[in-house]
Structure 1
Amino acid sequence: MVQERQRRGKGVCWMLRLWSVAVISILLLSACFVASCVLTYQFTTDNPNRRLFELHTYHSSISCFSEGTMVSEKMWGCCPNHWKPFGSSCYLISTKENFWSISEQNCVEMGAHLVVINTEAEQTFITQQLNESLSYFLGLSDPQGNGKWQWTDNTPLSQTVRFWHPNEPNSPAERCASIVFWNPAKWAWNDVLCDTKRRSICEMKKIYL
């Protein structure tokens, strides 16, 4: 009888331990799930603030402007002061001339890159900001001189979105692209030597709040 009671007692203790482990495991899994949700939410909501912080590391002041509504809340697009907003990007026209590589580095140091033109509307907007007597580097180059033009993000030049002047590009030695106004034509692209000094156009993505 005593041995039977001892066996029953051990069985009950074993069951209690098993249930305790199961309950603790469920609680730990629940806590991990909640923590994961909280971190995901914070990452999502803090992302604009993080980008604003990063932007302030390059620029002392920014300007934000209303861009309509989304889910009944105002959307604000932000660009550094003196940058021109268009679409989802901000643009800065340089006032100094430099080589292509240095121009790209100057853009990178401001959290941007040499401009990548994706549409005719974007090209039209940009040319409205330019001086017809000057030439400006684009973020477009042919590193190997084999006609494989690519943008600064390494994407190849689209077959449909390209705005070269007639008969351009025309020299394998001219491996960087600029945008220039030629009479009686218009603003369009020209291949030029990368180590010639020109002005340039920087582009960065807007920050949305």
Structure 2
Amino acid sequence: MNQQERVGPGTAAPAEGSSCSRLSPWVLLVSALAVKTALMTVGLVTHVSQSCDKPAALQGNHTELHCILAVHQSKGRDWKCCSEGWRPFQESCYYFSDDWMPWNESQQNCSGMGSQLVVINTEAEQAFLYKEMGRQFKHQRNGVILYIGLRAQKVGQWRWADQTPYNETAAFWRRGEPSDQPSDELCVVIHYQKDIFRNWNNVPCTIDSYRICETAAETI
């Protein structure tokens, strides 16, 4: 044994596993990175969850909007939003009134809100309205009537308020409707009752009824 290899009294011999002590900083670094990654993952999940509940563009001054996520095959995804008190569905917003008016006053009231009496184009739209009325009028045992934007200038000559041509295949009349007598029943209501999906009924335009207004949804 030479001088450099000699171990003096009271001096502990080097441990064979001294290389582990040199690795300990790396272990600490890896552990720290693992903790950081976990925290970032939690933050990402929280962000995604919040984004699903409310679009980022709606933070702050837009909290009064109600939105649904729309997915388009060519355009990707965006949000369709409606003002407080309006219900979103596809490209439109719908307002269900809590007061009664004749048809003309109902259309004027909708127009004053930048909308019109609802124009129903598809079975999916009818299904949405049926479901929403069930939610809003669930305590009405005898059913309710709500004006829609369909009326006739003469018996049988139906036309929508926005001049959309009447399509018989997308009409949802109650059994026995529309009636030709009396001849003054030229406006159409939805006569909502539970379990009756086909619920349109023609009535005189002067009766007071609830109404459904429709306007285009805001894209964000």
Taking structure 1 as the reference length, what is the TM-score of the superposition?
0.64
Q: Residue 49 of structure 1 corresponds to which residue in structure 2? A: none
- Greater CA radius of gyration, 1 or 2? 2
Q: 1:117 aligns with which of 78, 95, 120?
A: 120
Whole-angstrom distance in 1 between the partners of 2:73 and 2:195: 45
1:197 partner amino acid: D
Q: Does 1:134 align with 2:137?
A: no
Shift of 1:207: 1.5
Whole-angstrom distance in 2 between the partners of 1:150 and 1:77: 28
Whole-angstrom distance in 2 between the partners of 1:159 and 1:196: 25
Q: Does 1:78 align with 2:81?
A: yes
For structure 2, the residue ranges without an aligned partner over 5 or more in a row are 1-62
Whole-angstrom distance in 1 between the partners of 2:74 and 2:193: 46
Closer, same or farther: CA 178–62 of 1 in aligned 2, 3 Å: same
Taking structure 2 as the reference length, what is the TM-score of the superposition?
0.61
Structure 1 ranges of 4+ moved more than 6 A: 69-73
Whole-angstrom distance in 2 between the partners of 1:69 and 1:75: 8
Greater helix percent: which structure?
Answer: 1
- SS of 2:170's equivalent in the other structure is coil
Shift of 1:175: 0.5
Contact 1:127-1:187 at 8 Å conserved across structures: no
Q: Does 1:199 align with 2:210?
A: yes
For structure 1, the residue ranges without an aligned partner over 5 or more in a row are 1-59
Whole-angstrom distance in 1 between the partners of 2:96 and 2:205: 18
Q: Does 1:147 align with 2:150?
A: no
Q: What root-mean-square deviation, in Å, do the aligned CA atoms of Structure 1 and Structure 2 show?
A: 2.4
Whole-angstrom distance in 2 between the partners of 1:157 and 1:147: 10
CA displacement, residues 142-191 of structure 1 (integer Å, 9 cap, x when unaligned): 12x23110000112210211111112111321000001135884451000
Shift of 1:129: 1.8
Closer, same or farther: CA 201–73 of 1 in aligned 2, 3 Å: same
- SS of 2:169's equivalent in the other structure is coil
Q: 1:103 aligns with which of 74, 87, 106?
A: 106
Name whichever of 153-162 and 184-193 sits farther off: 184-193
Contact 2:67-2:88 at 8 Å conserved across structures: no
- SS of 1:177's equivalent in the other structure is strand
What number of residue pairs does the alignment pair up? 149
Whole-angstrom distance in 2 between the partners of 1:149 and 1:162: 11
